[in-house]
A = this chain, B = another copy of it.
Amino acid sequence: MDSVTEISGSALELPGLSPANADPELDALVREIIGRVADKWTMLALEVLEEHGPLRFTRVGELIGDVSQKMLTKTLRQMEADGLVVRTVFPVIPPRVEYHLTDLGRGLSEAFCGVWHWAEQHRDTIKASRLAFQERAAAAAQGD
């Protein structure tokens, strides 16, 4: 059939992190997506929309906390472009715009849950590591 050798056959194998892709384009896309998702505001927007369901623009901002209007707009637009949220404009005055997660967005939220959890579970270890590192650095500085 197709002459392209299927290296891993199925996506269910879960290789370490990245398989030997040999496809730079796909690799770049994956990285871009991850980088985008990892963005602070995207992550938080994902959170509040997952937790509270459909929300108005201003409400999303309130729930996120200290996001500027500019970044909120940018973030939500990006998420819309990537198909993570749907933006619904109600042609009323004053304007009413609602955002809600798509299945894709929810799936991403779930996928990210693992990382979130890891961070929560190991927060103490990380804090301890940072402290130890600082002290090693301080000791080295003194030992000059």
Contact = CB atoms under 8 A, between A and B. Distances in A.
Interface of A: 11, 14, 16-18, 26, 29-31, 33-35, 37-40, 43-44, 46-47, 50-51, 80-83, 104, 107-109, 111-123, 125-130, 133-134
Given A47-B18, A82-B126, A117-B11, A35 B38 contact: yes
Majority SS at the chain A contact face: helix
A17 B46 contact: yes
B133 A34 contact: no
A125 B104 contact: yes
B17 A80 contact: no
A128 B104 CA distance: 12
